[in-house]
Structure 1
């Protein structure tokens, strides 16, 4: 039995919402992983996941398989959602946005999310330090060091060459190290971000 590719599914989502369920099933773990590395409470995690897949439904018509993979497109979209949520939280203490995703998690789901949040605490500390960097440095480090994309995948998301990714990543890691040292942050958590990537 032939299984549709991720790219086929996104094209189908653009034609109608029926294929969203399968796309969600395949990729919800990736999106949840992005969420727990960025947000420290279950409401924000749930809101992020819900918003990402709502944006998939809204934006699937703009996906072009000739310009990159569906997974790269999803990471780019999710990165935009995270940036938007941080800006919203900085502008307002209004809890309405954070509460809108609560219905997606039951008691067992909350327990599992809280376990994942605890496990990702060190990485979130580094992620907060990354917010001091420029947008280009931060976005690249998010994709490669936080979300685990390869240089090729990050290049697809950012629409730049792999060589440019490698050069920018070296500079971004250096800037992050300096930012953390300037802020007198412990240096141990950044070792993960400083390792050289094999591609």
Structure 2
């Protein structure tokens, strides 16, 4: 079939089979808008796959019903995915403009902490670990030492080195980290 190359042939094919396709669809869906959309989708699929029709394998209508079945099945699968996605978010409130404003305020408020974390990323692991526990997680030096399994004096030395390293970074985050002990 050369339906995609010959508009007259496609029109004749469409007129011959549109009622049968519509009956096929409405037996499977109960929404008239969806039935119309699926019928149109079926004929678009026919244009895309007309080259696969082999008369020796069956009639045009049998082939067309195969195409229709695939299109309708794809729609059912898509609907099922959408329902699963909807059920996952059911009961959750979508973000509105006020939520977005609050989110922007939080992002701005945490800007200093992000700068501090970026500066801390360049520190040796031991120094960074003590500094994170003290400055970010609000542990005392003694608690940080216990959490890391090191002596308290080692934790103090590492904290001192980390602070000195951060002093070289010109940002308010160093002041924030300095005041946390």
Instruction: Flag whether TM exceeds 0.5 (same fold).
Output: no
The structure having more radius of gyration, on CA atoms, is 2
Structure ranking higher on relative contact order (CA contacts 8 Å, 6+ apart):
1
Interval of TM-score (by shorter of Structure 1 and Structure 2): 0.3 to 0.5
